[in-house]
Amino acid sequence: MKNNNDSLIPLIEKICTVSTIGLFLTGVQICNRIYRMRTTGDISGFPFVATVVNCTLWLLYGYAANNSTIMIVNFIGACLQMLYALVYLQYTTDRSSYIRLLGCAIAFLATVAFYFQCVVSDQSVAVFRAGLVASIATVIMFGSPLASLRQVIQKQSTESLSLPLCFANLIVPIEWVLYGILIHDRFVQVPNFLGAILGFIQVSLFYKYPRQSGLLPRATNLGAI
């Protein structure tokens, strides 16, 4: 007899895939702003690179764990974020620093990929270590907006935040937590649970601090897993 949870997995996989790709696509709005201004202004390009690293690490984990959903979502995410990074590179006034940042990220990912493909021979060990590295990267990525949240609290205004993006940063991790529970994968559950908590904090700030006008979102970490 088929388990009820097993019948839910394909549905949750589709929901997670569509919503996460939709979240990744919010970077188009940021890049459009950069294109119209013909400069990056005060927009940081670091989140694009950080999300490329995060998506690629999860892509490696998906490959090690033989999980096609994680592989597909993060392959698309890595490609989109790299495109965003290239747009940022085109218009930034400090190209040399950004090229170094991209180079360091690519070198790190190449080293990690070589390690899992050529050094680690045991499949279960590869899955565990790839999941651990990807989870740590995700926790760091989710924690990076805390600096901007501190600024929001100090100014007592959410003008610099985008409510739709913050709401997505709450809902998408919750979907991945549910997916992680269904497939019994703690590496998917734990970092996204922490991400959901951060998303909840972000959304709650809109109730605590008023805003008078909507602004385009600043570059932020785009994606749950």
Does residue 219 form part of some domain? no
Other C-beta atoms closer than 10 Å to the C-beta of 109 total 18
**Residue carrying structure tokens 């913050």:** 166
Does residue 51 lie in a domain region? yes
For the whole model, what pTM was predicted? Answer: 0.85
The CA-atom distances, in angstroms, between 202 and each of 62, 154, 161, 165, 168 are 29, 14, 8, 10, 10
Q: Say if residue 42's pLDDT is above 60.
A: yes
Q: How confident is the model at residue 135 (pLDDT cuts 50, 70, 90)?
A: very high
Burial class (CB in 10 A: 0-12, 13-18, 19+), 128: middle
The count of domains in the chain is: 1
In a domain, 107, yes or no: yes
The pLDDT assigned to 141 comes to 78
What residues make up the domain containing 45?
Answer: 4-208
Asked, for residue 160, whether it belongs to a domain, the answer is yes
- Select the highest-mean-pLDDT range: 4-18, 47-61, 138-152: 47-61
Q: What is the pLDDT of residues 53-102, one digit of tens each?
A: 999 999 999 999 999 999 999 999 999 999 999 999 999 989 999 999 99
The whole-number pLDDT of residue 216 equals 47
Would you state the torsion angle of the CA atoms of residues 81, 82, 85, 86, taken in this order, to the nearest 10 degrees?
-140
Specify the pLDDT at position 212: 61
**96 part of a folded domain:** yes
Q: What is the pLDDT of residues 106-130, one digit of tens each?
A: 999 999 999 988 888 888 999 999 9
* Mean pLDDT along residues 24-29: 90
Residue 11 domain flag: yes
Is the residue at 13 inside a domain?
yes
pLDDT-derived band at 214, boundaries 50, 70, 90: very low
130 assigned to some structural domain: yes
Which tokens is 185 given? 């994968």
Task: Tell me the pLDDT of the chain averaged across its residues.
Answer: 86
